[in-house]
Amino acid sequence: GGTELLVIDPGATNNEEKKFNQIKQQFPDIPFRGIVFTHGHHDHCFGAERYIEEAKSKGWDSPDIFAHKLIVERFMRYDKTAKFNEIINSRQFRGGENVGSWKKEYTFPTHHVVEPMSISVGTLEVTLHPDRGETDDAIWIHIPDLEAICTGDLFVWTVPNAGNPQKVQRYAGDWARSLIKMKDLQPKILLPGHGPPIVGKDRVYDALESTAQYLLHLEDDTISLMNKGASLDEILSIVKPNALLGEKHFLQPVYDEPEFIIRNIWRLYGGWYDGQPANLKPPSESDFAKELSDLIPGGPEKLIQRALELSSQNKWRLSCKLADLAYQCDKNNIDINTARGQIYSLRAENETSTMSVGIFNSIAREMGIDPSSNNTFKNQESTKE
Ligand SMILES: [Zn+2]
């Protein structure tokens, strides 16, 4: 903004200092008008204190800190579930290898964004738009004079992280509608939450429109089957991503997956009951596994043997189901544990998304198999959530 800076997402714990230094190097004497958190995920909302201290030492006004009002509830939830978050992030990004620490010292916003809010930054007018998508506390930014938008994680060059199996509700439909609002502004520059910028009206249009339609297709098809009384199991077997959109290079399932998005749409509109009556009040996994294995000559050994055969045919869903049943029959059987670990490690090698690879590797590790030769996503841990 010429005479003032607006800092959007000061950073994660492991890169906020570097980002601060880069900004200071490039704009040593320009005061900070404000800081925006595009949402409260840990790769976006740390480092604000540096700017506040820098302003103080230079005698500038302290920067305003803008965030969605629900970020406050998020930070409180993170406090309450810090240990849980350590565990699930260890699974998600490190295949269960060592449980890290979950930082809890947050800088709270000075300004809550509850409806589109215009602020001036030097010579520029900037509009902050609160929305829901990956999170319920998202803000995207429009800078009309530059024909630019900053999407936060509403665009990140992959299948939207609208399904994440281990985390709170995400909002596929609202996500799509926020992208359509951005598209309608006809921006020519898109600055995403992760990855390189997109420049050019046509390219920006394609990124926003295609991602929005990809999500709306999943939501529309899921809801229409819910309205016909379909179970989650039936919906998962029928609803697939739009084939043409699924070919876009920025809609590949490398982080999250469409199957998980469908589950989250079901959860948002339908709750946790999946429509299978036995699952309303199911037997414990181990009671069921023992009952079933008693019917099978060879019992748990037969189950794990068949699981290995199925894995060699790349029938991973069935293979893992049988391996889990064998394990539930006898959790201390070293042979079963080893085979189960090998199956999950192999399955992880055949998966595309951070979410699946991480969870499957973590089971391999629990079974005593070291999946460290497998792809993991440690490098994403502080850059994604
Ligand atoms: Zn992020």
Q: Is residue 252 domain-shared with residue 191, that is, in the same domain? A: yes
Domain that holds residue 239: 140-278
134 CA to centre of ligand 1 in angstroms: 10
Ion ligand 1 residues within 5 Å by Cβ: 43, 153, 193
Specify whether the backbone of 32 is left (phi greater than 0), alpha (psi in -120 to 50) or beta. Answer: beta
153 CA to centre of ligand 1 in angstroms: 5
Residue 77 lies in a domain: no
Distance CA 304, CA 103 (A): 41
Q: Is residue 364 domain-shared with residue 295, that is, in the same domain? A: yes
Backbone angles phi, psi at 166, to 5 degrees: -105, 0
The angle at the Cα of 383, spanning 82 to 118, to the nearest 5 degrees, equals: 95
Distance CA 204, CA 263 (A): 29
Residue 90 lies in a domain: no
41 CA to centre of ligand 1 in angstroms: 6
254 CA to centre of ligand 1 in angstroms: 15
Residue 44 lies in a domain: no
Last residue within a domain, chosen from 278, 311, 338:
278
Q: Is residue 354 domain-shared with residue 263, that is, in the same domain? A: no
Last residue within a domain, chosen from 278, 311, 331:
278
Give the pLDDT confidence score for residue 357 in this predicted structure.
95
Give the pLDDT confidence score for residue 257 in this predicted structure.
98
Residue 170 lies in a domain: yes
pLDDT tens series, the chain, 385 aa: 779 999 999 999 889 999 999 999 999 999 999 999 999 999 999 999 999 999 999 999 999 999 999 999 999 999 999 999 999 988 888 888 877 778 778 999 999 999 999 999 999 999 999 999 999 999 999 999 999 999 999 999 999 999 999 999 999 999 999 999 999 999 999 999 999 999 999 999 999 999 999 999 999 999 999 999 999 999 999 999 999 999 999 999 999 999 999 999 999 999 999 999 999 999 999 999 999 999 999 999 999 999 999 999 999 999 999 999 999 999 999 999 999 999 999 999 999 999 999 999 999 999 999 987 666 666 666 666 6
Give the pLDDT confidence score for residue 68 in this predicted structure.
98
